[in-house]
Amino acid sequence: MPQLEKIGALWINQDKNGNDYMMGTIGGKKVIIFSNKYKKESKHPDWLVFPQQPREELPPKKDEEEEIPF
């Protein structure tokens, strides 16, 4: 049997409602994978893969002096 090449790794997590999802990397890209809640036919996928978006950073706070309108 040929040796398989690993292309990624996934971890199972649960959201606040107890639904399972996976996060990890595939091909060097961060991904998040959700079960397909809209699956109605066998030809529809069981899981949907999305690129993981970085969390938005909060804008830096302005100095109080800059907020004074004079």
Residue 23 domain-assigned (yes or no): yes
pLDDT digits (tens, 9 = 90+) for 19-41: 999 999 999 999 999 999 999 99
pLDDT at 67 over 60: no
**Type of residue found at 24:** G
Question: Helix, strand, or coil here: 46?
Answer: coil
Sign of CA pseudo-dihedral 13, 30, 8, 34: positive
**How many domains are there within the chain?**
1
- The rounded radius of gyration (Å) of the Cα atoms in the chain is 21
Q: How many CB atoms lie within 10 A of CB 41?
A: 5
Residue 49, domain member (yes or no):
yes
> Has this prediction a pTM greater than 0.75?
no
**Burial of 21 per CB tally in 10 Å (0-12, 13-18, 19+):** middle
Domain that holds residue 27: 8-53
Does residue 58 lie in a domain region?
no
